[in-house]
Amino acid sequence: MCNYEHEFFDDIIKRIVVFECEDREVQDGLCIFHAPKYWQNNSHEVAQVFYKKWESATENDGDSQLLCIGYNLPNITLDHAKLQKPINFTAAKFHGIADFSRTTFTKAVAFRDATFAGKAVFLGTSFTETYFVGTEFISEVEFEFVTFGEADFNGAKFRKMSTFDKAKFTKVASFQNATFGDRVTFYETTFKEVHFVSATFSEARFYGNVLKVATFDHAKFKQASFVKLQRINEDSKVTRDPFLFFHRTEFKNPIKTYFDDFDLSNTCFIYTNVREIDINEQVEWVANEKTLSERLAEQHKVPFEVVATEYRRLRENLESKLRHVEAGRFFIAEMEVKRKNVKTKNRVFRWLRMNVFSVLAWYKYFSRYGESYRRVMIWIVLTPLIAAFLTSLTTISPSKLDQFNSVFQNCLQDYVFAFFQLKTDNLPQLGIRILSLLLIGQLYVALRRKFQRGFTKVSF
């Protein structure tokens, strides 16, 4: 009897157990599957014995597992098979091509810590529940047109090119701590929810993906492209604004990081440097007035200061590409989160600090943070008029309202002269002179920005 033993995690009973092989010994106390080199000179025999075990598993259903723990397997082709019971390839070594194309796994299948030395092919395969935890793919791997149920690729290592084109993940997929040493493509791949936390990418291509949530927290990219991403709502409506989380994500080569042709309103770049990444002109931020990061800050899930930094980096990115209209929007958003960054829990005090006793608030009211020259011009026109109207009301008694027009005209003339620094006879006129300096200064800033950027759009 074979002496091979190995601890493995049993996905059926959800605990660690010990596998003890009961096959016949052929070499050094080990069977044909566990003798490290036996397969090299006896590949046909090893394959045929394995196929018999496989056929037995396809003909009989139930929860009893087909245990292939630690197997050494040569070229394996299992095209169009349907497995009726769980199978476990933990620590198995596939020394040649492993072809599982169009195979249907109706129960759990595990490749934990398995090694694929040759090409791995899962073309059109269907998984109900699969575990590639710690699996190493030394050669190329194809997961094209695959249907996944629960899928766990945590810690998997993809040494060569890997493809998940047109695959469909119907449940949560996890690639935490996975390593993609070569190009990985996700063309028109459908995800319900996918997590690439702490994953490492050499070159990643996400194109035409349909997903709801994707997290890339602490992930590292050498090259990446995110193009035409879409989201499915609860009512099955497809929109262009998937939820993407780039928290402390590192883009090592930002000029080769590419975002194009979808809406980033629900994208969060917290603690991520996006100053130099390539954001194409077809990228939008229109699905929501506030980005996901700002909405999270308002829910006290992230600091406002961090969101302001994100906005500043996006603004600098867009300004470097001369996309001044969008850059102006992020400057306004940056000022808004700074205005909202009030450290008090009292709602009344918080509102007053945000909207009344705040320099930024008045900067917003007068010129939308220097982005609207028209708003400043309106205030320049209204300031003498309002001052003259209020002064006339307070100086005329109710019995002399017929004199209001003449008094108003005289006051308006005085305030216009005061506004343009030509007259100061009293304290109100002094206040108007001070206010005029602020408004004219903001008008200068707003006009300078418009001349620098071009009069492409005016915001109120």
pLDDT digits (tens, 9 = 90+) for 356-380: 888 888 888 888 887 878 888 888 8
Integer Cα distance of 349 and 344 in angstroms: 7
Residue 460 has pLDDT above 50, yes or no: no
pLDDT at 78: 87
Reported as a pLDDT band with limits 50, 70 and 90, residue 400 is low
Residue 13 has pLDDT above 60, yes or no: yes
pLDDT tens, 154-176? 999 999 999 999 999 999 999 99
Range picked from 56-60, 161-165, 347-351, 373-377 for highest mean pLDDT: 161-165
Reported as a pLDDT band with limits 50, 70 and 90, residue 457 is very low
User: Which CA distances in Å does 385 have to 391, 414, 430, 437?
Assistant: 10, 11, 16, 17
Reported as a pLDDT band with limits 50, 70 and 90, residue 456 is very low
Reported as a pLDDT band with limits 50, 70 and 90, residue 62 is low
Mean pLDDT of the chain: 89
Provide the β-strand partners of residue 67. 88
Query: The tokens of 25 are what?
Result: 């010994």
Provide the whole-model pTM: 0.83
* Mean pLDDT value across residues 217-230: 96
Are 16 and 10 within 8 A, CB to CB? yes
Domain borders along the chain are: 289-358, 372-453
pLDDT tens, 27-53? 999 999 999 999 999 999 999 999 998
Reported as a pLDDT band with limits 50, 70 and 90, residue 389 is confident
- Contacts of residue 10, defined as CB under 8 A and 6 or more positions apart, other chains included, come to 16, 17, 65, 88
